[in-house]
Each structure stands twice: as C-alpha cells, then as structure tokens.
Structure 1
Amino acid sequence: MFFRTGVRIAAVCLALGSMQPYAMAASNIVDTAATAGMFSSWIQGVRDAGLEPALKGPGPYTVFIPSDEAFAKLPAERRDALRNKETLAHVLKLHMAPGKLRLKDAKEGTRIKTQAGETLTVHREKNTIKLGEGEVLEPDVEVGNGVINVVDTVFFP
C-alpha cells in the first residue's frame, strides 16, 4: 500500500487504529503486523531471513517496523542488497531490540541496542519521536510478545 505524502500519517493511524484492539489479544508481532495490511514487505523479509519463529515466539521484542512505503522509497542499490539473506537478516535485526521498550517514555538521547549489535538513538522534536534518521509514526503498540513501533524509514548499517 502506497500513500501520498499528505495522507501518509492519517493512513498509518487509521490502519493501526483498527490494529490496536486486536493487538491486545494478539499472541505475536508477525500476526499483529499482518492484520494492518501495510507491512507486507517487512513480513516477507522476516520470513526470508528466517526471523519469523523468533518474532512469533515468546520474546519479548521491541520492533521498529517500516511500512511498505518506507521499503518502496529505498534506492535501487539498497533494495538489491536486501536480496542477500545475510544482509537482509542484519538489516531486519537493526529493527529489533530485546525486551519491551516504550518510546513514549524514552528520553532525548536514549540509546537502544539492537539485535544487530548496533545502536539507535531516540530524538524528540516537539511532538515527534525520531529514531536514528527515521520518524516513529505510531509508537508503543503492545502485543503478546512485545511492542511494535511503526517507522517511516528502513534502517541500514
């Protein structure tokens, strides 16, 4: 699903608004993300990289899920790089952290160590939460095995 810039935030909120009630009862991150219908690129990547069992398991994990729109805006060379399973797994692990982290509670400069071993830094600008170079479109969607945060950027090392 691709959004025009002017309606991108509204569309994300609408999709996740319908996701929130389900999220309370959902047992895992992958199934919850699938209900929103706007994360098919991320879900396919998780499957191709072999990370689905972990993200359907007990966790807990905090994930930073890029929308399909975020994957669509990647330059061609980065999309090509994701065809390599090891690169794909590393990039997706940049979007995962152990435990349940709530970005709404995170202070400016909070550093989050990812499953890839790299660090993402939280920045606050007015009412916006930034994570690295990306904006958090919807923070802190709780599910049975963790927390989902929707981001507008695919993080690369």
Structure 2
Amino acid sequence: MTDTINRNHRLVVILGLTMALGPLTALSFGTKYADEETWARAQAGLQNAKPQDKLGMYGDIEGVPSYASSKTLADVLAGSGVFDEFENAIKAIDKTEMLSGSSAYTLFVPSDDAFAALSEEQRAALRDDPEALAALISKHIVPGRYSATDLMQMREARTLDGSSMPVGPNASVDGHIGFGGSDVIKSNIVASNGIVHVIDRVNL
C-alpha cells in the first residue's frame, strides 16, 4: 500500500515538473533547432510587438475614425468657428488645395485668441507681406500624421518650411505638449488627411 502511494506521488511530481519545464525545454530546443524562416518570424514578432500604451490619457487614435473619413483638414478649419484667422491665412497663401488633398499633414493651429494677442504692428506686417505670412503658416504645418501620443514621444518636428521645431512634453507645464514656444490646448481633431492640434500662441 505504502509503495503504491509513493509511486503515485513520484508520478505526480514528475508530471508536475514536466508541465512546468516543458515549455522552457521546448523553447530552448526550438531556438536551437527551428528552421531559419520560423526563427526569423519569431524575432520579427518580438521586435514589432506594440508596447503597452502609457500615454492613453491623451486620447490617441488608430487610423481615421468613420466620422472624420469625409472631412479634410480644409473642412475642419472651415467648420470650426475658432480658426478663422488661420483659415484666412491659408486662403491668402493658396494652401487650401494642399489641405484638401490626400497627403497627410499635422497642423498646429493658433486659435483666434492667439492671433488676437499679436500686436497691431505684427498683424499689419503679416497682412502686408504675403511671403512673411506664408513663412509663418509653414512653421505651423508638419508633413505626416502625428497624434498627441506621437508628439509626447518626440523631441522635434520638421515643419513645411524645413524648420526644426521643438515638440514633446512641456517641461514647464506638467501634462502639456509643447510645440515651439506654445502649448497644445486641444489635440487630436481628426481629418481624413491629417490631424489638427490647437495651440495657445503664434510661433513667430
């Protein structure tokens, strides 16, 4: 009777160890003996695995939501009611067609209040010099599609005019995204061909 119990106990232990060590053994042998194609796929899967998103608080987006699929960046600016100054500037420098096309852009749009904060001299200079206005607007457009989460992981962005603008977490304002000398106050306004982020200051 005792021998039978002992044998049963040893079987249970052996089975337990086999179950625990089996995957590790298989992984070890698999690493050694798997064909090159299989191992290459496994390595690619590890390298391309998406890490856990720790920046979900910024409401990141995946692709283009259905509600935005028929709206271009030009449509977003036209329908906002708070981007009139930026929209007028886009029209003045003939960029409306660019923002209606299929190429993706990320816009950092100063609110109308941000434009209103400019001095009368600054506003007049931009009004009277189309080239200066075009250069200013180009500093607020980044080719490509960058969500708030993307921006939080960046340090700089190359704008339409070739300038390098600092971007990323604002060191002076906790929880805010900075772009140039401004703060993003509203993010991830999505269009079919890009994203709009609203900023609180015009980057001159």
Is the contact between residue 166 and residue 180 of structure 2 (CA under 8 Å) also seen in structure 1?
yes
Please give the root-mean-square deviation of Cα atoms over the aligned residues, in Å.
1.8
1:63 maps to 2:111: no
- Name the CA shift for 1:77/1:102 in 2 (closer, same or farther; >3 Å): same
Matching residue of 2:144: 99
Inter-partner Cα distance in structure 1 for 2:76 and 2:70? 6
* Structure 1 residues 115-143: Cα deviation after superposition (integer angstroms, max 9, x where no partner): 01111112423211111110101122221
- Name the CA shift for 1:22/1:136 in 2 (closer, same or farther; >3 Å): farther
- Name the CA shift for 1:22/1:138 in 2 (closer, same or farther; >3 Å): farther
* Structure 1 residues 16-43: Cα deviation after superposition (integer angstroms, max 9, x where no partner): xxxxx89623431111122221111110
TM normalised by structure 1 equals 0.79
The DSSP-based 3-state class of the residue aligned with 2:198 is strand
In structure 2, stretches of 5+ residues that fail to align are 1-64
In structure 1, stretches of 5+ residues that fail to align are 1-20
TM superposition shift of 1:104: 2.4
Taking every aligned residue pair, what percent have the same amino acid on both sides? 29
Larger radius of gyration: 2
Q: Write the letter of the residue equivalent to 2:80.
A: A
Inter-partner Cα distance in structure 1 for 2:146 and 2:175? 18
**Runs of 4+ residues deviating >2 angstroms:** 103-109
Which of 80, 84, 103 lines up with 2:124 in the alignment?
A: 80
Q: Write the letter of the residue equivalent to 1:28.
A: T
* Structure 1 residues 85-109: Cα deviation after superposition (integer angstroms, max 9, x where no partner): 1111110000101110123233466
Higher normalized helix content (fraction of residues): 2
The DSSP-based 3-state class of the residue aligned with 1:106 is helix
Higher normalized strand content (fraction of residues): 1
Larger RCO (CA within 8 A; separation ≥ 6):
1
- Name the CA shift for 1:23/1:79 in 2 (closer, same or farther; >3 Å): farther
Which of 121, 144, 149 lines up with 2:192 in the alignment?
A: 144
TM normalised by structure 2 equals 0.62
Number of paired residues?
136
Inter-partner Cα distance in structure 2 for 1:114 and 1:147? 14
Matches for 1:1-157 after TM superposition, within 5 Å: 24-83=68-127, 84-107=129-152, 110-124=155-169, 125-156=173-204
Is the contact between residue 23 and residue 32 of structure 1 (CA under 8 Å) also seen in structure 2?
no
Inter-partner Cα distance in structure 1 for 2:75 and 2:146? 19
Q: Write the letter of the residue equivalent to 2:92.
A: D
- Name the CA shift for 1:148/1:31 in 2 (closer, same or farther; >3 Å): same
TM superposition shift of 1:49: 0.8
Inter-partner Cα distance in structure 2 for 1:59 and 1:109? 21
Q: Write the letter of the residue equivalent to 1:142.
A: V
The DSSP-based 3-state class of the residue aligned with 1:52 is coil
TM superposition shift of 1:47: 0.2
